[in-house]
Structure 1
Amino acid sequence: MKSTMRTVRPAWLAAVVIGTAAIGWVATELTSRGRLALPVLPFSSLITMGLIAVVCLVLGLKVRRWRDGKRDKVLDPLLAARTVVLAQACAYAGAVLFGWHAGILLDQIPTIALRTDLGVIWQMVALMAGGVVMVVVGVVVERFCKLPPEDNEPTTKPRTKREGHGEEEFA
């Protein structure tokens, strides 16, 4: 049976952003009441986010080059499949990081005028920007890995059940 992987859907990314923003907002409320520090990732996490995005992009470009006809070497199908999975994970991780820090920032907006040090605000904005970069890279690399439809192939339709097997076979 042929299996197909679903692409990242913008609605799901938006749902992840909204859900994690709500969780980030609640977490900030709880940590503020306990007089704890804001639950913000350090600036050094931008390095990790950047490395993930770069590795994803490099692998995606390798797959795209092969897809577009530069077939000097054989492309390992497992590498291509892992690249798609990495791209999807990158997009969803970016959505989580963006949403989390957006929720914290929303909670902190009323206190911005009272702050003498805006460093943590800029830190949240930088982490949100890193999340957006991860989402964009993930979606773009996923599209790099998508094969164009063949013009000479008819549209695929499910075949009838094979006798005795009870499974559907897809073309």
Structure 2
Amino acid sequence: MKLTSPVTLLVIGVAVGILGWLAAVLTTRYSLNTPVLPLNGLITMGVIVVLTLVLGIRVRRWRNGSKKKMLNPFLAAWTLVLAQSCAYTGSVLLGWHAGIFIDQLRLWNLRSDQTLAWQALAMAGGGLVMIVVGLMVERFCRIPPEDSEGDAAPGPQEKRKPKSEGEYAYRGD
């Protein structure tokens, strides 16, 4: 799997930010409620971030050799997918709520109650935390390249034989 590109996340965030800004402008124009997630969404975002971080630390500890026990490869793959989805979701949430916050700034002096603007800013901050944790955990799941000592990769007909019996089970002594 390829690493998530921060440029891709930026493009997604800007595109969704423009959509969020347009949605806020249209809802204000037609006297509808502005589409901002409620603040209790921060609790859900926090649970996702903590879960991603805990699983990522488990993978990192195994990768660095702190654990002798075999890591479940499905757990490692799920952790990577969770980290990537956390980063993409954070990008969408950051963009959407940043666009709404920018719209609310032009109305800042006209309204006596700015809770909607603060709510959008808090949700955008939560999205930023999701991006940072997702990218960080994704880097935790990366396996460092092995020393090949000039050996070519096995071709379609030849099979690679392990140097020792436990080479793939755990990081040995």
Note the residue ranges of structure 1 that are not aligned, 5 or more in a row.
163-171
2:124 matches 1:111: no
2:54 to 51, 55, 58: 58
2:41 matches 1:34: no
Identity fraction in percent: 51
2:134 matches 1:133: no
Distance between the aligned counterparts of 1:114 and 1:121, measured in 2? 13
Distance between the aligned counterparts of 1:155 and 1:19, measured in 2? 46
Tell me which residue corresponds to 1:97: 93
Distance between the aligned counterparts of 1:99 and 1:13, measured in 2? 10
* C-alpha distance 155-51 of structure 1, shift in aligned 2 (>3 A): farther
Note the residue ranges of structure 2 that are not aligned, 5 or more in a row.
159-173
Distance between the aligned counterparts of 1:59 and 1:109, measured in 2? 38
| 1:80-106 deviation line (CA, Å, top 9, x unaligned) | 011000000000000000000011111
**TM-score normalized by the length of structure 2:** 0.85
Where has structure 1 moved over 2 Å in runs of 4 or more? 151-162
* C-alpha distance 150-44 of structure 1, shift in aligned 2 (>3 A): same
RMSD of aligned residue pairs (Cα, Å) = 2.0
| 1:20-40 deviation line (CA, Å, top 9, x unaligned) | 001101111221122111110
1:7 to 3, 7, 17: 3
* C-alpha distance 94-114 of structure 1, shift in aligned 2 (>3 A): same
Q: What amino acid does structure 2 have at the position aligned with 1:27?
A: A
1:17 to 10, 13, 24: 13
SS of structure 1 residue aligned to 2:108? helix
* C-alpha distance 155-54 of structure 1, shift in aligned 2 (>3 A): farther
Equivalent residues, number: 158
Distance between the aligned counterparts of 2:92 and 2:133, measured in 1? 15
Q: What amino acid does structure 2 have at the position aligned with 1:54?
A: V
Distance between the aligned counterparts of 2:152 and 2:46, measured in 1? 39
Distance between the aligned counterparts of 1:62 and 1:156, measured in 2? 32
1:123 to 119, 125, 147: 119
